[in-house]
Amino acid sequence: MKGYSIGVVGATGLVGRTILKLLEEYQINVDNLKLFASDKSKGKRIKLFGKYYYVETLYEGCFKGLDFVLFSTGAKISKIWAPKVVKEGGYVIDNSSCFRMKRNCALIVPEINLNDYKTKCKIIANPNCSTIQCVLIVKTLDDLFQVKRINYTTYQSVSGSGQKGIIELKRCLNHKNHCFYPYDISKTVIPEIDEFLINGYTKEEMKMVEETRKILHKKNLKISATCVRVPIESCHGVVVRCELVNEYSDQVFRNKLETLENIIVLDDPVNHIYPTSVIAKGNDNIYVGRIRKDLSCKNGVLLFVTSDNIRKGAASNAVQILKGIINNIN
């Protein structure tokens, strides 16, 4: 099988470093690898596939000959540099929010809509971390009972803000002044992630609304979200509340979840068994528990989902998209 030329932009960041680990873990056949980061990291040496690779900064023509470039920097860098990859003939898989809602870019969770990339341009967007872990569960409910309305409430770890979030939590735990979040994250949860919009929601909340609709191809689905930062280092938890068109059957839902790869039901509350960040950290599973009927409506279900935001919420989903496209090509 052909080996591929791959670039990783943001290779020294939380998501980028995990992408590199996953290229090995998912046995991607890499012939040629180019690593990019900021000036700060220029010349850093990273060992992968038994070889050393040196980190470069971005320059005109740096993507020549690359089949796939995975971006994990931020929207500003993706906006400028991703189109240059396409000009050179390669695919982009982008972790930022830059292209997610662009009509001509696919927004993919491979278990749901991998083939969307076939009818769009060569820039593929990776969804927001909280969206990825919820949408697979929502899709299952929708297939079984038809989802009418969704409400998300997130409990998002500081690593969702990248390296800066982890440094800030450590600084606050060491009784130093906070300087990244608006409050001392070691002492409070913060119901503010990303900028506030004029509708009173934050950008992060609207990402969950719009991205869920796009991935499920349901542009009129009623959704609202509240996103909250919590003082833990990794993994996001989300309360998902779905109102359904058809009558909910707990047994049918649980039986279906048991058949899905990488979805693990942990739901024995009396014995304190439910999804926790400790269990989710470092793997690609999505953990579901506290599944129960929603008492506030006729036909609804409430549950709690946890997953590793750096893995399935970002790097793993990106590498799974890469693997999916490679499998389709071969």
Ligand X SMILES: NC(=O)c1ccc[n+]([C@@H]2O[C@H](COP(=O)([O-])OP(=O)(O)OC[C@H]3O[C@@H](n4cnc5c(N)ncnc54)[C@H](OP(=O)(O)O)[C@@H]3O)[C@@H](O)[C@H]2O)c1
According to CB under 6 A, which residues from 86 to 115 bind ligand X? 95-96
**Annotated catalytic residue, options 134, 172, 236, 242:** 236
Instruction: Kindly state the smallest distance separating residue 159's Cβ from ligand X, in Å.
Output: 5
The verdict on 45 binding ligand X (CB under 6 A) reads: no
- 217 in catalytic set: no
Instruction: Kindly state the smallest distance separating residue 220's Cβ from ligand X, in Å.
Output: 26
Cβ proximity to ligand X: between 9 and 28 the closer is 9
According to CB under 6 A, which residues from 62 to 81 bind ligand X? 72-74, 77
| Residue facing ligand X at closest CB distance | 13
Rg of the chain taking only CA atoms, in angstroms: 20
According to CB under 6 A, which residues from 116 to 145 bind ligand X? 129
31-34: long-range pairs with CB below 8 Å, 24+? 31/2, 31/3, 31/4, 31/5, 32/3, 32/4, 32/5, 32/6, 32/65, 32/66, 33/5, 33/6, 33/7, 33/8, 34/5, 34/6, 34/7, 34/8, 34/62, 34/66
Judged by CB under 6 A, which of 35, 244, 314, 321 binds ligand X? Answer: 314
What is d(CA 120, CA 215) in angstroms, rounded to the nearest whole number?
14
Judged by CB under 6 A, which of 48, 120, 162, 221 binds ligand X? Answer: 162
The verdict on 16 binding ligand X (CB under 6 A) reads: yes
DSSP bridge pairs for 53: 46
Structure tokens, 262:
């990488």
**Annotated catalytic residue, options 62, 129, 134, 227:** 129
Judged by CB under 6 A, which of 7, 20, 34, 41 binds ligand X? Answer: 41
Sign for the CA dihedral angle at 159, 269, 240, 198 comes to negative
Structure tokens, 92:
């982009």
What is d(CA 64, CA 85) in angstroms, rounded to the nearest whole number?
8
Stretch that binds ligand X, among 3-11, 174-182, 250-258, 269-277 (CB under 6 A): 3-11
No. of H helices and E strands in the chain?
9, 14
The verdict on 159 binding ligand X (CB under 6 A) reads: yes
Interacting residues with ligand X (CB under 6 A): 9-16, 36-38, 40-41, 58, 72-74, 77, 95-96, 129, 159-160, 162-163, 309-310, 313-314
Residues classed as catalytic: 129, 236
